[in-house]
Amino acid sequence: MTAGRKRRNRVGRFGYVAAIAAVAAASALVLVSAVGAGSNAKVRIALVLPDFAQNPAILDVKKGAEAEAKKLGNVEVITTGNISAEGQVKAIETAIAADVDVILYDTIDGKAISPAIEKANKAGIPVVCYISCAIRGNHVSKIEFDWVGIGKVEGTWLGKQLKAGQQKRGGTPVYAVVDTSKADPSVAGIYKGRDAAIRAAGVKPKVVITPPTNWDRAKGLAYATDLLTANPRIDAMTCNADSIALACWQAMKAAGRTDIPFSGANGDCANLASILRGEQDFTVILFLKSGGAVAMDTAVRVARKQSYKKAGIVPIQGVDRQLALRILSGQAKVPAGLDTLERLKKARAGCK
């Protein structure tokens, strides 16, 4: 272990108020000062992420973080991406054994990753969490979403679809969920906010839910297919993440049920293009790439013993086809700092 390395203080979770149109980054951030290494001291950062090979949103995190490291200079980034919690645990343990300066991570299972984070604490390696965090262990900084707020944005839209379905068909509307993994605290937060918003809409649907896909598209396709087969009535459906929403659309086309309104989250280019084509109906854009750069900047500042922010949040924006077209036409403005217009232009151009 590097001499002089010290443990940092635990940082709690925090939140912000989400709105259906957009949520901009909040500024309630605390600066922690430290004195030590020079401004450009060489540092090694272990970047541990979910699988970015099949998830464009996580790939954005990787790109944002690595680009920031290159910009800062003299930063060696050891990047791993895993679709399983076990793989992420192994990656963190490898980083500990390599005695990196800081571990920066985003987990798919906050419970499973906790022992590895505690091992890093015992080894004296500072840990920065980006987006989804362990439920135990100390973090010098957390850059997160208000997961409940994200759920409320999506749930407000879903509530409207379920009410419309009830008015059209009568009886009890059916709400279908293609799960990612409720075991992850971030996903659990989304469920909480989403369910609260649906209740606030004054509708009490029958809820049908698949086993967890763990962000695996093949499972998403299989589970969505089973869900459609088992439920002849579905008034609204969420596929939890845009990578899974693409699989949902594939299953819906095969089943001839493309009239079901469905949502995702992330704001991947392929999904925004799908929304513009009138296929996917709604997504919550998560501005992950810019947040990834902030997270890497924080990790490097920690490693170089510079001032850094103990807490940060990442902006989001809920978008359906109507809003997307209004933004493209200039009829709707986007809050400062959000690149929604640029994302939609890229989606309209074919994501090239």
CATH of the domain at 293: 3.40.50.2300
Residues 198 and 170 occupy one common structural domain:
yes
Asked if 334 and 214 sit in the same domain, the reply is: yes
Counted domains in the chain: 2
Rounding to the nearest 10 degrees, give the CA dihedral for residues 23, 27, 28, 30. 140
**121 and 141 co-located in one domain:** yes
Is residue 14 a part of any domain in this protein?
no
Q: What is the mean pLDDT of residues 94-123?
A: 96
Indicate whether 310 and 274 sit together in one domain.
no
In a domain, 26, yes or no: no
What's this model's pTM, rounded to 2 decimal places? 0.69
On whether residue 222 sits in a domain, the answer given is yes
Q: Which residue has the higher pLDDT, 174 or 36?
A: 174
Residues 108, 133, single domain; the answer is yes
Residue 194 near residue 151, CB atoms below 8 Å: yes
Residue 7: inside a domain: no
- Mean pLDDT across the chain, nearest whole number? 88
The answer to whether residues 295 and 104 touch, using CB atoms and an 8 Å cutoff, is yes
Per-residue pLDDT averaged across 198-218, rounded?
A: 96
Res. 211: pLDDT tops 90: yes
pLDDT band, very low/low/confident/very high, at 183 (cuts 50, 70, 90): confident
* Helices 217-230/242-255 angle, 10° precision: 40
Query: Within this chain, do residues 189 and 132 fall inside the same structural domain, yes or no?
Result: no
Q: What is the mean pLDDT of residues 22-49?
A: 62
* DSSP output for 259-272: TS-EEEEE--HHHH
Q: Distance between CA 145 and CA 173 in Å, rounded?
A: 30
**Do 69 and 99 lie in a common domain?**
yes
Range(s) of the domain holding residue 241: 147-286+320-348
Q: Spell out the residues 6+ positions from residue 53 whose beta carbon is closer than 8 angstroms to its own.
A: 59, 81
Least confident of 241-245, 287-291, 330-334: 287-291
Going by their DSSP bridges, the two strands 262-266 and 308-309 should be labelled as unpaired
How far apart (Å, rounded) are the C-alpha atoms in residues 284 and 153?
A: 7
pLDDT at position 38 is: 53
pLDDT of residue 225 exceeding 50, the answer is: yes
Q: Which residue has the higher pLDDT, 94 or 11?
A: 94
81 domain-assigned = yes
Both 219 and 170 in a single domain? yes
The verdict on residue 6 lying in a domain is: no
Question: Which band of pLDDT confidence, cut at 50, 70 and 90, is reported for residue 315?
Answer: confident
In this structure, the answer to whether residues 257 and 165 fall within a common structural domain is yes
Same domain, 153 and 84: no
Report the pLDDT averaged over residues 226-245: 97
Half-sphere exposure of 154 (CA within 13 A, CB side): 36
| Nearest-10 crossing angle of helices 269-276, 321-329 | 90
Average pLDDT over residues 287-311: 92
- CA-based radius of gyration for the chain: 21
pLDDT the model gives residue 54: 79
Q: Which of 19-23, 301-305, 341-345 comes out lowest in average pLDDT?
A: 19-23
Same domain, 90 and 134: yes
Domain presence at residue 310: yes
Same domain, 185 and 249: yes
- Rounded mean pLDDT of 277-302? 93
In the structure, what pLDDT confidence band is assigned to residue 71 with cuts at 50, 70 and 90? very high
* pLDDT single digits (tens) 318-335: 999 999 999 999 999 998
Which one-letter DSSP state was computed for residue 184?
S
Instruction: Label residues 143-177 b or e (16+ Cβ within 10 Å = b).
Output: bbbbbbbbbbbbbbbbbbbbbebbeeeeeebbbbb
Residue 185 domain flag: yes
